[in-house]
A and B are shown apart, each in its own frame.
Chain A
Amino acid sequence: MSDTTQNGSVLAADGTPLKRSLARALRRQKIRALLLIAPLLLFVMLTFIMPIGDMLFRSVENDIVSKTLPRTVVALRDWDANSGEAPGEEVFTALAADLQIAAEAKLHTRVGSRLNYETPGISSLFRKAGRKVKKWDVENDGPFKEQFLEIHKGWGDPDVWRTIQTYSPKFTNGYFLNAADLQKGADGPEWRPEDEQIYWLLFKRTMFMSMVITISCIVLAYPVAWILANLPARSANLLMILVLLPFWTSLLVRTSAWKVMLQQQGVINETLVWLGLVADDARLVMINNQFGTIVAMTHILLPFMILPMYSVMQTIQPTYLRAAKSLGATNWTAFWRVYFPQSIPGIGAGSILVFILSIGYYITPELVGGTKGVFISNRIAFHISSSLNWGLAAALGAILLAVVLVLYWAYDKIVGIDNVKLG
């Protein structure tokens, strides 16, 4: 019933272009689908996407200096940080005015602790100055430079002023530099002193340990998944329950159980000592280090490897192996050339799951990792809840997110994401 106009577009029976009439027919369906997912969409927006967006924004946000010390920021613009001298009187006058207002509102300590992240010691300068400035008459009590220096001679240090000047803009890359063990030097970013470099090491360790955990999961899960996929349905179900059993136990309980197992007075060490394999004074250190974290996390993440592998292996028909053998392949060749290549999508899916889960894992490394086995996520948690440096935490989180996305992209390039089967 369609017709074609001169320009080639197909017309519906009533003469409207077919495309438009199709779009109209589908519109109702689209609206209905949208309404059905709307509650979830709203929920995810409010509780997930917006907080993450807010956190990511905090990693570059820096309006506290320019908001609390507006006059000082303006006055500092002309000061040359490389002059080696503290700025002149007009800056101190502006600072006195700013600080008085800030101290009334009790905001001066916040600026202090913000700048303290960058240059340790600034916090106390602000706290002491704040107390004094409250009593001054800003109009008549000048000049202020001497008075500030009397409160604390740190106010004469050009480094302090450079920090204030550097962090005047509303946005900063300071958190990100910090997260990559860099700092703002006199001429652009520079490495932090060797003994202060921590994040680069933590990122490397997180990557390395996640990789080790993923590989141990593959090695342990592959035979289990194979047995599951090849057993008769009834026994397979029973075994499947055993695989899923850990999911029904609290993560904390499982991790604590590993503590009991692995500690120096724990089950394994006691058994080894009792068997005489290990001397009583040379008990193995298996916890509060990388080994403990790897063992506990491999155990916890194993089901995430087994399940996708199982679902892929289930679809590989046993006749493939038979066919290979009838064509003259030994058991090993049949497995390696015919079965294994077909099971790769399962390995890929499991690896992505386990690797991405472990890269952001927090509880287990926190409990059994000690100092050598902690992940980057533990440092993020520290900055969120203890040091309250949310900007740095956000920057670390953003880097972690970027790394995961890059790995995901690389995986797609190398293996192909359509090769991944979750079930």
Chain B
Amino acid sequence: MADASNHDAFVEFERVQKSYDGENLVVKDLNLSMPKGEFLTMLGPSGSGKTTCLMMLAGFETATHGDIRLGGTSINNIPPHKRGIGMVFQNYALFPHMTIAENLSFPLEVRKLGKSEREEKVMRALDMVEMGAFGGRRPAQLSGGQQQRIALARALVFEPELVLMDEPLGALDKQLREKMQFEITHLAHRLGITVVYVTHDQTEALTMSDRVAVFEDGRIQQLAPPDKLYEEPQNSFVAQFIGENNTLEGVVKEINDGVALVQLDNGDLIDAKPINVSQPGERTRVSIRPERVEFNKDRMPEGAHTLKAEVMEFIYMGDIFRTRLRVAGKDDFFVKTRNAPDQVRLTPGQEIEIGWLAEDCRALDA
């Protein structure tokens, strides 16, 4: 977990708890610290507490316990309009009765800026999102992607240092969403702003963020850069939630030199890297990514344990092949292989042997 007393921390959550009904905690003991300029994504299934955290940071919800600090000062008792945090909402929340320019001018007006200064800043913000020609239109006359850009421009026009985004791309189609992901990250880095981004889409989290906080059950399960998160999940929830994953259950037999020997429930033995297990006899759930499974004997490490597998289904997906296997009595084990000229195409019914590097197979909590 992050160190809450970090000196250059810009946004800090310290032992924050939140309950709506006085019986259940939606957020349980949240500790988080972000340096200036970081792009942090809160990722998690719905109901995991990520949006509540964002709302507490924005000031629309009050923390039941704990301290939220911005730039070193506690903001628990500062109303939202005095926090100076930009926010992009899921449905954009552009004011329908104002034109685009009036929407952008609104935060400047309430800050009592002069007319010429307002116009200049609005123009600059519109140009920044390449919407300079749309100032006179109403939100309803714009497409979803255009409204998204305007919402972004409006959150940035008053030059906040911190911008919160609550699933801002949720309503867009896939292609537009990917395009906007790049635009938002580039913009954030260019302007040097700190961003807290909430999403339930893991691809979005992985492609956009400097760090990702995976939420579940009111806690941060893991806080790490995207590559660490994907390759080194700390527990089976993160392993399951991020990316595609194969799991096998068994008991730890022995642990030697950082390699655990795991006996699966059907008796087969495999090698794994112990993460959440420390001694023999513990139950574990081992996790392995489909693209790290090897069935070509030449490429398998010497002396590695292998498992027998039967090919159930071969799925052609263009750039990759997905093969469903029956392994250790379960028939939901997937293997992903690249569509290369020398790649083997497995046929259903075929019997093969599969193996992997011990460090790719992680023995996690059961």
User: What is the interface of chain A, defined by CB distance below 8 A to chain B?
Assistant: 317, 319-320, 322-331, 333-334, 337-338, 341-342
Contact = CB atoms under 8 A, between A and B. Distances in A.
Given A323-B87, A333-B110, A328 B158 contact: yes
B110 A328 contact: yes
Given A320-B93, A341-B97, A326 B158 contact: no
Contact of A327 (B79, B91, B96, B158): B158
A323 B97 contact: no
Nearest to B166: A319
B274 interface: no
Contact of A323 (B82, B89, B110): B89
A123 B179 CA distance: 91
Contact of A325 (B81, B97, B154, B158): B81
A326 B80 contact: yes
B111 interface: yes
Contacts of B81: 325-331, 334
B60 interface: yes
B241 interface: no
A44 B58 CA distance: 58
B106 A324 contact: yes
15 contacts: A317-B91, A319-B90, A319-B93, A322-B58, A323-B87, A323-B95, A325-B59, A326-B58, A327-B81, A327-B154, A327-B158, A328-B158, A329-B107, A330-B81, A331-B81
Interface in B44-77: 58-60
Contacts of B91: 317, 319
A319 B89 contact: yes
Give chain A's interface secondary structure class: helix
B86 A320 contact: no
Contacts of A329: 81, 106-107, 110
Given A323-B89, A327-B158, A342 B96 contact: yes
Contacts of B97: 341-342
Nearest to A326: B87
A262 B155 CA distance: 55
B27 interface: no
Which size class do B's interface residues fall under?
A: 20 to 34
A333 to B, nearest CB: 6
B80 A338 contact: no
Interface string B141-184: 00000000000001100100000100000000000000000000
B142 to A, nearest CB: 16
A336 to B, nearest CB: 11
A319 B167 CA distance: 14
B84 interface: yes
A322 B58 CA distance: 9
Which 3 A-B residue pairings sit nearest by Cβ, starting from the closest? A327-B107, A323-B93, A326-B87
Contact of A317 (B59, B93, B164): B93
Pick from A319, A323, A337, A338 the residue with the most CB of B within 10 Å. Answer: A323
A342 B110 CA distance: 19
Contacts of A325: 59-60, 79-81
A322 B61 CA distance: 11
Contacts of A341: 97
B85 interface: yes
Nearest to B90: A319
Contacts of A338: 95
A342 to B, nearest CB: 6
B95 A328 contact: no
A342 B93 CA distance: 13
Interface string B255-295: 00000000000000000000000000000000000000000
Contacts of A337: 106
Nearest to B107: A327
Pick from B80, B84, B96 the residue with the most CB of A within 10 Å. Answer: B80
Given A328-B110, A328-B158, A322 B80 contact: yes
A327 B60 contact: no
A231 B266 CA distance: 56
B258 to A, nearest CB: 49
Contacts of B86: 326-327
A320 B80 CA distance: 14
A98 to B, nearest CB: 70
B226 to A, nearest CB: 28
B106 A322 contact: no
Pick from B81, B82, B84, B107 the residue with the most CB of A within 10 Å. Answer: B81
Given A319-B89, A322-B58, A323-B95, 12 more contacts: A319-B93, A323-B89, A325-B60, A326-B80, A327-B106, A327-B107, A327-B154, A327-B155, A328-B81, A328-B82, A328-B107, A330-B81
Contacts of B60: 322, 325
